[in-house]
Amino acid sequence: MHVDPAYTSQECSKCHHTERGNRPAQAVFSCRVCGFVEHADHNASHNIAHRGWMAWVCGAQSTAPELTLIA
């Protein structure tokens, strides 16, 4: 399943507020709305997992190109 990673590093995995200012440093995520603080990569991975779960549960179609085998 393909999950669009756009803005996952700027989105809070707790309240889902998205803002460029949530990334004060490369490795630090700090939500400006709810105050949640976590390593930026860990936060982004939670967002990607959440998006994948939502797509799976809601039955969304994948946007990944189909695999074509050429003999």
Rounded to a whole number, what is the largest CA-CA distance in the chain?
54
Query: What is the predicted pLDDT for the residue at 62?
Result: 59
Instruction: Give 25's strand partners.
Output: 28
Instruction: Categorise residue 59: left if φ over 0, alpha if ψ from -120 to 50, beta otherwise.
Output: left
Cα gap 45→67, rounded to integer Å: 25
Cα gap 4→16, rounded to integer Å: 15
Over 70: is that where the pLDDT of 71 sits?
no
Query: What is the predicted pLDDT for the residue at 33?
Result: 97
Whether 23 contacts 17, CB under 8 Å = no
Over 80: is that where the pLDDT of 66 sits?
no
This prediction has a pTM of 0.77
Q: What is the per-residue pLDDT across 4-47, written as a single tens digit (0 to 9) for each?
A: 999 999 999 999 999 999 999 999 999 999 999 999 999 999 99
